[in-house]
Amino acid sequence: MFEFWLGIGIALVVAEAILPGLVSIFVGMGALTVAALMHYHYLDSVASQFLGWFISSIVYIFSLRMLAMKYYPTDTVVQKIDDDIAVIGRVVEVVETIPSGGTGRIAHSDSTWNAISRDSQEIQSGEEVRVIGRDNITWLVERPS
């Protein structure tokens, strides 16, 4: 059984290079801990081996993973982007006529979006309008002054 835990431990530690996330390395370290405890005859039964593996893996994951993440943070960057600020005030093209009191479509940001006229006037396809607000996913537009 010693060889089993040693093999599993080495395989999991090496697998961390392929499976990022700092989990498999600590589970592998738990298996290596069991192999070391078996070598020094602290663990004999299969039940105690699995219990030792489970406990040591949990300890490694919750202690060393947090420590490693503190000193080696991920490359993830959280950016706060407010779509309304980026679009409101822009002049965009109407691609589908906005009927009086109805919904048409405008083009911006490489896509088309539902739009309604602020003053309920009909706006023809091809005209330019200014985005002045948003109601859920429908943009509120007006003719530029």
At 66-106, the pLDDT tens digits run 787 777 766 666 666 677 788 889 999 999 999 998 999 99
Least confident interval from 6-20, 42-56, 120-134: 6-20
Q: Is the same domain home to 58 and 22?
A: yes
Q: Is the same domain home to 61 and 87?
A: no
* Structural domain includes residue 33: yes
* Residue 124's pLDDT band (cuts 50, 70, 90): very high
Query: Domain residues for 125?
Result: 83-142
Give the per-residue SS3 of 34-75. Answer: HHHHHHCCCCCCHHHHHHHHHHHHHHHHHHHHHHHHHHCCCC
Q: Is the same domain home to 134 and 89?
A: yes
- If one counts the domains in the chain, the total is 2
**Residue at a domain's end among 47, 71, 95:** 71
pTM for the whole thing?
0.48
Upper half-sphere CA count for residue 107 (Cβ side, 13 Å): 10
Query: What is the structure's pLDDT at 34?
Result: 93
